[in-house]
A and B are shown apart, each in its own frame.
Chain A
């Protein structure tokens, strides 16, 4: 056993769970519920173990570096994985009862890819991890292709294809950019060129790589796939898709830009600022006329990514800390809101705002949960989203990016309008259906977990902020 293998303990453990699920499914037909719980409990065990094991170290040639920075993201991905599995169990049981194991295994494989991303310090490994994260997602996206109820339009195939084509295109862009960058420097290490002035070809390569990342995290103007994919893919999976890969992309983006290419910031910083501003503008403005909850949340997610990038534009340790605080807040909030929409839609038959209207009368708790999540996305005090948005804008302000702060503040007021209209249709409008919402235990557990995180961190953001600061300083102090 190589002496550095221990730094991959968590990834190997998740891989082990995936193999266990496959094995169980092959040996005896356990059913979606048992397999789902098995996976969820396994992931919880890994999450708990992450607090007990010592993971610091680096792989040979410095291609992978572990530490507090990596651990922060790995825990976040594990949380997303747990929520993703819990949220899917009921859906798997009712809709795709014949093949639940593959769904779970693909989810876990994607999870392993994400968990690798934060520690990667080598281009080859980065591309591999990215694809490991991305390819299972294409499959999962189209998973409901054959199984949906007859009356529903079959949008899953379209969703899967859209994600696949844009994903492949973004990979191609990244690879082409990398060919230029790596070709010029002659090394596959993430540590970029030493001088601040790079050749035009390298510069073009860097911008191409940036565009590839833009697709992955769904930032404008690379956001086109998001609304259609969200609308067509199974909702519990969209909950996962809308947060985890974005967090993964962010982790890699931070590593590439602020560790690898920090000397060339004059080249990419303006581009990044434009992408951030465009994402906030496009996301918030295009969300206004949406009638489908999933499309609305898709556009809102684009805007949220804009806010994260604002923090990265600050190019400071504080900015990194605020960005990863934001992404953690976003993971719990967006997961929660999609799961509530899923629970409401399962009982009313559709995802349009009209169809989830009157939710608070059908289920007061779900209505209240939706309100909290939406307020958190809008950045209203005493939900974690408020602190997230505040910290991000603060970091940009301290870095002197006043125009980005003003853009962000103005657009977050615009955003209030559509977030409040979700609240209005939940609480004030009369819904088409008056039946109480019935949802299974795992789904309810996942929603309660998200709610606890959003409210708990909203009331007391100190610990997570301290953790994010620690991770950021570990990142800045690292090689």
Chain B
């Protein structure tokens, strides 16, 4: 299979095209085709992981098609050691996401079309070896979100407060359309910054190619690097939830439908972090060193601020959303350490957090569908009626706070170890404090919702996990434990690429 990467990227897009031809009434057909498209991509990702030659390392399965020859834009696909775990993550999340969306009733065909287009873009980013195509796929992954949240999302009341309370009424804060517009505009402003940086690099590299390999071989002047790096960092960082550009994330994730939250928090935010590392740090090594104190300090703020915000939320989805902001801080902290251990931890955290947050949002979706509330104070004792949900939710909580034996532990441990080895050892201290605050808020939420005395009368007859709903908890829960006890499988891939890329970063004296 020489075109395996193309197949992985194209399968969801082709499935989306087939969906367009199906009649609206073919409800089962729509879901089966979507699931097939997702499964093909997942199978392809597993095959890529299986056949990746770890002894050789580097870029493998290179495919190259010219797209816009005058500008030197090529559709150049290849996979490296970072791409493998992220492809796997995307495959797992989209399959479970389709299963979790089985019960979408409103305009279901349109919904699956957009979901599949989005995920095709995500796969594309992870295998692109051409900066321009990387950006194109990135846009494809970001844009469908507007409609997905705007149409299928949920609005909720946010009480107006503070000196800007007139804004609430003017922009309908809390509404799904507000969330969708805020998310899209913030991310597209980021895209504009990326575009500028991209052409800055393209021009300095001779204005003939966007090939990442060629750009890596180019020694950019220090001025260019110092200008381009913050553009890339904040541009991609706005998607990774970098403080203070994270504010779209709680609103967006809270308003989005289940599978969209899963994909967005589980995979899309990783695109941002991946962009910062793959484009920012690898292409601009001098600037990465110079800016590392800023990046790392902001990441520490992310961890602590996100955790504290999460601890003060009353809405379950907002808790999970803010915990994503906090956990993405861990990824960025790992990246800022500029050590092999830290980078391995960062990529591992992308994977672990993707799985974990996917599980969270899937379970929150199940609970919300039955209880029709996300306010934690109203819930209680759900374990009596839905023990399976309770068990998996607890597992996700434990991974979130970094319990040994779960994937979250491996990732956070590596990141904190890496920051202790790096130039700014103090970063590990607030990082660990953040992990402690995480333990407080996830355990408190978990206890209030699921454990304790039997639920009130109105919640006494909530059903447990049924049929296709099993998919997400089962797959994601298994993955959390599997990659918690067998980290080597993924770390072998990640380490190869981290080591190779770190060789480019000048040592900090």
Contacts and interface: CB of A to CB of B under 8 A. Distances in A.
Interface of A: 360, 364, 375, 380-382, 387, 390, 394, 397-398, 405, 409-410, 412-413, 416-417, 420, 423-424, 427-428, 460-462, 465-466, 469
Contacts of B185: 413, 416-417
B68 A461 contact: yes
B136 A420 contact: no
Interface string B178-208: 0001001100110010011001000100010
Nearest to B192: A409
A410 B193 CA distance: 10
Contacts of B66: 462
B272 interface: no
A364 B66 CA distance: 34
Interface in B100-155: 110, 135-136, 139-140, 143, 146-147, 150-151
Given A380-B143, A382-B136, A466-B70, A428 B150 contact: yes
B147 A427 contact: yes
Contacts of B286: none
B70 A380 contact: no
A405 B198 CA distance: 14
Contacts of B147: 423, 427-428
Contacts of A469: 70
15 contacts: A360-B110, A394-B71, A398-B203, A405-B196, A409-B192, A416-B185, A416-B188, A420-B181, A420-B184, A424-B181, A461-B68, A462-B66, A462-B68, A462-B70, A466-B70
Interface in B55-78: 66-71
B177 interface: yes
Nearest to A412: B192
Given A380-B139, A420-B181, A413 B188 contact: yes
A476 to B, nearest CB: 16
Among all A-B residue pairs, the 8 with the closest Cβ atoms: A381-B139, A381-B136, A409-B192, A428-B150, A428-B151, A413-B189, A462-B68, A413-B192
Contact of B199 (A394, A420, A427): A394
Given A398-B203, A413-B192, A427 B151 contact: yes
Contact of A424 (B70, B135, B150): B150
Given A398-B203, A427-B150, A461-B68, 6 more contacts: A381-B139, A412-B192, A413-B192, A423-B147, A424-B177, A462-B67
Contacts, number: 60
B199 A397 contact: yes
Nearest to B202: A394
Contacts of B184: 416, 420
Given A380-B139, A382-B140, A465 B192 contact: no
A465 B139 contact: no
Contacts of A398: 203, 207
Given A380-B139, A394-B199, A416-B188, A423 B68 contact: no
A460 B65 CA distance: 12
B187 to A, nearest CB: 11
A465 B146 contact: no
Given A413-B185, A417-B185, A423 B139 contact: no
Interface range on chain B (Cβ under 8 Å from partner): 20 to 34
A428 B140 contact: no
- For chain B, what secondary structure do more than half of its interface residues adopt (helix, strand, loop), or is it mixed? helix
Nearest to B24: A364
A397 to B, nearest CB: 6
Contacts of A427: 147, 150-151
A410 B185 CA distance: 12
B167 to A, nearest CB: 16
B134 to A, nearest CB: 11
B164 to A, nearest CB: 19
Nearest to B133: A381
A385 B136 CA distance: 13
Contacts of B67: 460, 462
B151 A465 contact: no
B68 A465 contact: yes
A325 to B, nearest CB: 11
Contact of A428 (B68, B177, B207): B177
Contacts of A417: 181, 185
A466 B203 CA distance: 21
Contacts of A462: 66-70
Contacts of B181: 417, 420, 424
Contacts of B140: 381-382
A118 to B, nearest CB: 22
A461 B177 CA distance: 33
B232 to A, nearest CB: 15
A409 B150 contact: no
Contacts of A466: 70
Nearest to B196: A409
A367 to B, nearest CB: 9
Contacts of A382: 136, 140
Contacts of A390: 195
A354 to B, nearest CB: 15
A398 B208 CA distance: 13
A402 to B, nearest CB: 10
A424 B153 CA distance: 13
Contacts of B199: 394, 397
A375 to B, nearest CB: 8
Contacts of A387: 68
Contacts of B207: 398
A236 B184 CA distance: 32
Given A380-B139, A382-B136, A416-B184, A423 B146 contact: yes
A409 B195 contact: yes
Contact of B70 (A364, A420, A465): A465
Nearest to B70: A465
A387 B71 CA distance: 11
Nearest to A468: B70
B240 to A, nearest CB: 20
Contacts of B143: 375, 380
Nearest to A469: B70
Contacts of B68: 387, 461-462, 465
Contacts of A423: 146-147
Contacts of A364: 110
A428 B152 CA distance: 9
A394 B132 CA distance: 13
Interface string B205-218: 00100000000000
A350 to B, nearest CB: 23
